[in-house]
Each structure stands twice: as structure tokens, then as C-alpha cells.
Amino acid sequence: MAGFRRGERLRRCAGGGAQRAADEHREQFAAVVAKHVVTKHKAKYGGIDAHRVAAWSRIGCMAANPRAGQPAQPEDLIDVAQVVTAYYTREPDPDNVDQQVAFGTSGHRGSSLDAAFNEAHIVATTQAIVEYRAAQGTTGPLFIGRDTHALSEPAWASALEVLAANDVVAMIDSADRYTPTPAVSHAILTFNRGRDGDHADGIVVTPSHNPPRDGGFKYNPPHGGPADTDATGAIARRANELLRDGLKDVKRMPLGRALQTAQRHDYLDAYVADLPNVVDMHAISAEGIHIGADPLGGASVDYWGAIAERHKLELTVVNPLVDATWRFMTLDTDGKIRMDCSSPNAMAGLLRTMSDNPDSYQIATGNDADSDRHGIVTPDGGLLNPNHYLAVAIDYLYAHRPSWPASTAVGKTAVSSSIIDRVVAGLGRKLVEVPVGFKWFVDGLLDGTIGFGGEESAGASFLRHDGSVWTTDKDGIILALLASEILAVTGETPSQRYGALAEKYGAPTYARVDAPADREQKARLAKLSAEQVSATELAGEPITAKLTSAPGNGAPLGGLKVTTENAWFAARPSGTEDVYKIYAESFKGPEHLAEVQEAAREVVNKVIG
């Protein structure tokens, strides 16, 4: 019977994860999790071998933690009271760069335990946002949502106190629910549509998929998407000035009074009711696609049940539990609890269910804590590599959205798979390649010149059926629903459709290596130039380009990308973590990929020392 069915909590183990393109950890993971893909269902997705099945896993310079993919134990859990107490009691040192407000690619993040995400940071940042929006002429309400991290509610409350004291009308959820990032973006755009003035903006209190000890705070201007570097730079500078000045210019009022000034908005109903305008919900319902949706303890927990009921879907919320310790999670590759729905280790419980019982769901999905990311699991293909699913989604959407103009382009980041380039060329569409960060897709999605924008980290959004904007921030919910639409309309799973694309365009092997890097090393890497690469060949192929700016918009990559006909690598510092990243891909197999990675490491090591 169609509707919302609550499933049992899953605590099963899917075994270890993959760490290098062709090492033993990949083999172990393929043997445990992907045996259905490689043996029983091999023919269904084009005969892609075990190496490629596991190739989508994020990889690191060190071996996977031996407990990766196993259920969390008591010693892995945070002390929620300690984390929240530290938020209120620890004072950051404004002269310590690690304790200052710093916006990465997705807002300011940190832990109260490190004096990097505390009450002082949030009131200063909110005051800075108030002043910034006033300077920009933004006079409408501010839509504010939060996810399920332990620090999100106290930070949300602190922000409300400052907003109210500055006479900014805060739009809070009418039922005090958690609010996904895409629901906030949707609310901003819906409010602003057709208005000449008094535009709204928003704040989302979330560190996304980060571990439970972390907090996050991001600002979305009236365009509804992530703020650009000009905005975040101005906000961070002012926030740090306020911190150094002892917060004397920060206005606040007690939470009780602040709540009385806030207005209520039904984020859930507005978002869920509008879904048929972006996804073919009727097709999913009519075909009776059996869906398992795992919120991973995040903000989409109430949304999936409402989606099932309103749109008459055969959908089970796999785990409706919300717990700020995330005790029900399996450990990620590094042994930490992390709500990364693109990680086979974080998704191990759902993967094991699909592997043991391929008929349990036709499509299973996961979302991270603020639901801006997606993970897609099929009985025949396991957990799809995010790059593979982006290629499938693009190939499907541009053939099944007849109201999108022929000029509508495809957006991808410079570190996303080149199979997307080949798919886009096959579709006869324009490709817009931009630096890492969803903010680069905002303008194109807003004016409809880009129909789909996606990142390799499993974040994407796309236009409504009529070619107008849906959200300008990542939306893991519609990407999850799209997988079911694809199956309902074509009769093929996304895994099967990727197999066909791989047969047509080649099957790349892709990997990302993360390694520790301090602030100075990251700064040196960000300034890496094409002139520092003297080689004319990369892993036996002539180099076709050395890029420090994105070909799609000319914006700096914040690193370097080197390409050949069948391979590429990109090196860049992380915007949110103390690591650097090397992305690499080869259409010539795992062994060639390893050569590309080695060449990339040599370049990076020369730069950072």
C-alpha cells in the first residue's frame, strides 16, 4: 500500500572501504559489498570490473581504518552535553587564526571543543550578516533553518537573538522541524519571485556531512544559493573585527522575545507540494517503484514521509531516528562518524541490506545531515559513484525535459569526471566547467542558462520542467527522486544506464587522494601555476592543457589541472578541512591512473615541501 512505512534501524557492516585505485582495500571492498554487481548482475551494467565498481570511493594516502564500515561503538560517540557546554563557555582567541571566523566552500565550520564554533562566532557572524544585507539593500525577511547536529540548535537560537535585536524578521519552521538546505533555498526563491524589492535571504545552520562534534553556519543571499567569496569575505572580516572588539557592537535580545518577533513558515509543505514541477512524481507513483530512503539521521527525516504520503509513493523511511551522537551510523573510511551518503563505509548498512536482499528496494537513497547531497543505491549496481550518477542524470534529463531550450548548458566542476564531457558532447549541448563550489552554478540556474549543475562530491540541482529555477543550492532530495523517475520512465536503473554510457564513451577510473596540509602548505598549493609543471607528457600521453582557471567562466581554480586525451589530474587545497586533495582520472584503467597519481604527487610535493 502506498504511503509512509517506517523501517527498522540498520546496523549491519559492509566491510572495509577502498583507499587506492588498485590496492588490497579496493579488492576487499569489492568482494564484500559489490559481489552482486560483479558476479550475479555483471551483465546488467556493461561488465564493469571490480576495480571500477570500487573506484568511486574517496581514497586517502593511508590505509582505511580497520573498523571502517563497522557500526559505531560507545567510544566513537560524542558527549553531547560537553559539546553544547563548550559552545557557551569556551571563548575563541581572536588573534588565533584557527579560532577566527573563516568561510570555506560551504560556510564557517568548526567544533566548539576547539574554540572554532562557539557562541561568540555565531553572534559576531550574524551581526556581520545583518550589516552586510543592509549594505546590499536586502530588506525582506531572512529564512533560517538548521540540521540535526548537536551545535545547530544553540547556534540557531543565538542567531535569532541577534536577528531580532536588529529588527530582521526571521522566518522559522512552523512546526519547529529540521530544515534541509534545499528547502531554505526553495523558500528564498519562492518569496522573491516577482518582487521588485524587499527581497529575502537566508541562513542554514549546518556543517553538512561533517562529524557530530562539528557545527556549521552558511549564508544564502537573495539569489538563494551559496554566497560568493566577495560576500563571505566581507562577512568574515567584519565578524572577526567584532570578535577582536569584544562583541560590543553586537545587538542581542533574549531568545523568548526573539521568538515572538519571528514569523512561521511551513518549509516542508511548500517544498513537498512543489515537487511535481521538478520531478515526474506521477511516473514514480504509477509504476509503484519501491524506494528505501535513508535520511542518515539528518534534516530530511520528516520530508521523506511527507513526500510518500502526498505523492502516493511506495517509500520506506529506512531509519527515522534522529540522534545527535549518530550512534546508528557505520564508521567512515578514516574511522570517524560522518554522514557522507557518497561513502560506501558511511552507507554500509544500506549497502548490506541491498546486497543481501536485492529485492528489498528497487531504488535506495541516502542524504547527508542537511540533505544537500545524495547517494544512490541499486540492487544491480550497489552505491553509484557520484560522477557516474551525474553523467546518468545529465544524459536522462536533457532527453526528457522538452521545455528546456536547446541552448540550455550543462554545468560541472573542474574535478568532476570527464565522462560528463563526453556525454555532454554526445548530447550536442554546451559544457560550462567551473571551479569547485556550487556557488559557480547560481547565476546559470537562476536565469535558466544552465539546466543542471553538479559536483563530484554528490551535490547537484536542476531546473523545473518548464526550464525555470528550482533551487540555486544543492538538492539531495530531488536527485534521489530522479533516480526513481529514471527507473519508472525508462525501465532501467541508473546503474544500468551508466553501463550503457560506459560502453559508448569508455569507463573511466577516478580517485581522490586526501592528505594532511597546514594553512601555509594549503596557501602555497592554491598559488600553484602552470609554469611549475615543466613536463610535456603525463603518464605516457601528451599534455593537452595546464589550467589554473576554469574554462567555463575564467575563475581561478585555486590549484592546477593538467589534462591529456585520456586522463587528467587536479590538485587543490580543501576549503573546509586541513587537507589537500589530488583528483585524478584515467580512461585507460587503474594502472594508468596510478601513474597519473604519482606524477601529481611529485608536482604537489615540490610545491608544499
Active site residues: 208
Contact call for residues 84 and 154 (beta carbons, < 8 A): yes
Three cell numbers at 264?
512561521
In the numeric block, the cell 560506459 is attached to 502
- Cα–Cα distance for residue pair 157/147, rounded to 1 Å: 13
CB 510, CB 585: distance < 8 Å: yes
The residue among 442, 296, 274, 427 whose CA lies nearest residue 364 is 296
Which of 374, 334, 371 is closest to 350 using CA atoms? 374
**176 φψ region: left (φ > 0), alpha (ψ -120 to 50), beta (else):** left
Helical packing angle, 229-244 and 119-135, nearest 10°: 130
Directed axis angle between helix 80-89 and helix 152-165, to 10°?
30
| Cβ contact 347:339 at 8 Å | no
CA-CA distances (angstroms) from residue 361 to 278, 288, 355? 23, 11, 11
Chain CA centroid to CA 491, Å: 28
Measure the CA angle with vertex 440, ends 439 and 443; round to 5°.
Answer: 90
Q: How many CB atoms lie within 10 A of CB 197?
A: 9
144 touches 202 (CB < 8 A): yes
Nearest residue to 168 (alpha-carbon basis) of 145, 209, 202 = 202
75: phi then psi, degrees, rounded to nearest 5? -70, -15
Alpha-carbon gap, residue 541 to 563, rounded angstroms: 9
Quick one: cell of 180?
534541509
- The CA–CA distances, whole Å, from 581 to 59, 435, 512, 589 equal 10, 14, 7, 21
**239 backbone dihedrals φ, ψ, rounded to 5°:** -60, -40
Please name the amino acid found at residue 56: W
Cα–Cα–Cα angle for 484, 487, 489, nearest 5°?
Answer: 105
Cα separation, 94 vs 246, in Å, equals 9
**Cα distance between residue 444 and residue 448, in whole Å:** 6
List 314's β-bridge partners, or say none. 3, 290
Nearest in space to 433 (alpha carbons), one of 453, 451, 419: 453
- Given the C-alpha cell 540557531, which residue does it identify? 156
Q: Which three cell numbers stand for residue 576?
A: 573546509
CA distance 596 to 92: 42
Q: Which of 287, 272, 301, 278 is nearest to 484 (CA)?
A: 287
Provide CB contacts within 8 A for 455, sequence distance 6+: 386, 412, 413, 416, 436, 437, 438, 474
Phi-psi label, residue 582: left if phi above 0, alpha if psi -120 to 50, beta otherwise: beta
